[in-house]
């Protein structure tokens, strides 16, 4: 990916080196907990380490238990660990990718007669507090609609490369673009509509709605790649293959096979490997918002 000459975002909050404490928040559910619900006790560790290790989103969406009174608990200052040159380069990369999503979605929203509101991206190390609850790095990157922030521990990228066999800088960019896709859903009102509907349907139906949410975020990531490349020529040979591979490697079926040795399709919340790569590809090839209407699709 051609990124070094790109604009840096001003919407980065660097919380690395802070200590996140579990406070008595107003009903927040720990991010990533929903990945464990319904699993056997013996699989909890595997669920955290493997199944939970990817693009988490607000668990309140999945559980249909939005209370509206989640609070951000305190984060106290702590002696920061030295930031290596490689870590700083990665943080710089994330800032450029975020800025590119800002520029892309600003134009897309203007074309629809709307105004885009930039999210904030929080860099953290180890654990962090958000309006969605307390999160550990092992739970992976996530977007919290309660504070409209994307959270990521940059160590996830090492796991993406080594544990999930998804190397490459554009695989890393896809992670950010997917989470920003959830922010777009919040601004468009999609996430609120899905949460409301999940409250009145069965668990299986709620899971299906969540799958469609995730696949739409994948499609939005592909749409971003299309528009950003057209405007700024960011793509290099092999970049799209890196993103498609990453989408495939974090499919529910792939992760369930790794974590528990078998697949339970009715428990999917993010989509299969085939579905995730398909919808990213659709967003990239067609390059329109209409192409990403996963909720109207008869087949995913």
CB 171 within 8 A of CB 242: yes
Q: What is the pLDDT of residue 18?
A: 72
- Least Cα distance to 214 among 69, 37, 34 occurs for 34
> What is the residue-wise DSSP string for 172-193?
HHHHHHHHHHHHHHHHHTHHHH
pLDDT in tens, 46-92: 344 333 434 444 433 333 333 333 333 334 344 456 678 888 899 99
Give the pTM: 0.81
Residue the block writes with tokens 């919040």 = 186
- Taking the mean position of all CA atoms in its chain, how far away is CA 127? 16
The radius of gyration computed from the CA coordinates of the chain, to the nearest angstrom, equals 18
- Taking the mean position of all CA atoms in its chain, how far away is CA 56? 6
Q: What is the SS3 assignment for 10-30?
A: CCEEECCCEEECCCCCCCCCC
Q: Which residues of the chain have pLDDT under 50?
A: 23-79
Could you tell me the two tokens for 175? 């992670």
Q: What is the pLDDT of residue 20?
A: 60
First-to-last alpha carbon distance for the chain, in angstroms, is: 29
Q: Name the pairing type of β-strands 75-77 and 133-136.
A: unpaired
Residue 83 backbone zone (phi > 0: left; psi -120 to 50: alpha; other: beta): beta
Beta bridge partners of 87: none
Q: What is the pLDDT of residue 296?
A: 95
* Backbone CA torsion sign across 249, 254, 260, 265: positive
Residues 6+ apart with CB under 8 A from 128: 15, 20, 75, 122, 134, 135, 151, 153
Beta bridge partners of 202: none
């Amino acid at each position: 990916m051609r990124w070094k000459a790109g604009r840096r975002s001003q919407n980065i909050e660097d919380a690395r080196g802070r200590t996140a404490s579990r406070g008595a928040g107003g009903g927040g559910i720990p991010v990533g907990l929903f990945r464990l619900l319904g699993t056997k006790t013996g699989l909890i560790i595997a669920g955290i380490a493997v199944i939970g290790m990817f693009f988490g989103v607000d668990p309140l969406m999945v559980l249909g238990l939005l209370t509206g009174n989640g609070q951000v608990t305190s984060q106290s200052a702590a002696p920061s660990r030295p930031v290596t040159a490689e870590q700083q380069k990665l943080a710089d990369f994330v800032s450029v990718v975020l800025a590119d999503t800002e520029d892309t979605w600003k134009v897309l929203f203007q074309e629809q007669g709307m105004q885009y509101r930039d999210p904030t991206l929080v860099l953290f190390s180890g654990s962090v507090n958000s309006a969605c609850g307390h999160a550990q790095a092992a739970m992976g990157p996530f977007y919290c609609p309660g504070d409209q922030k994307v959270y990521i521990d940059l160590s996830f990228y090492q796991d993406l490369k080594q544990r999930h066999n998804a190397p490459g800088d554009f695989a890393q960019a896809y992670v950010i673009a997917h989470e920003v896709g959830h922010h777009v859903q919040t601004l468009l009102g999609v996430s609120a509509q899905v949460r409301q509907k999940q409250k009145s349907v069965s668990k299986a139906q709620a899971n299906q709605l969540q799958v469609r949410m995730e696949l739409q975020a994948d499609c939005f990531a592909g749409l971003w790649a299309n528009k950003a490349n057209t405007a700024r020529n960011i793509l290099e040979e092999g970049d799209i293959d890196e993103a498609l591979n990453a989408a495939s490697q974090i499919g529910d079926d792939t992760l369930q096979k790794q974590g528990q040795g078998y697949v339970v399709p009715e428990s999917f919340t993010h989509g299969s490997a085939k579905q995730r790569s398909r919808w990213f590809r659709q967003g990239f090839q067609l390059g329109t918002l209409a192409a990403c209407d996963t909720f109207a699709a008869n087949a995913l």
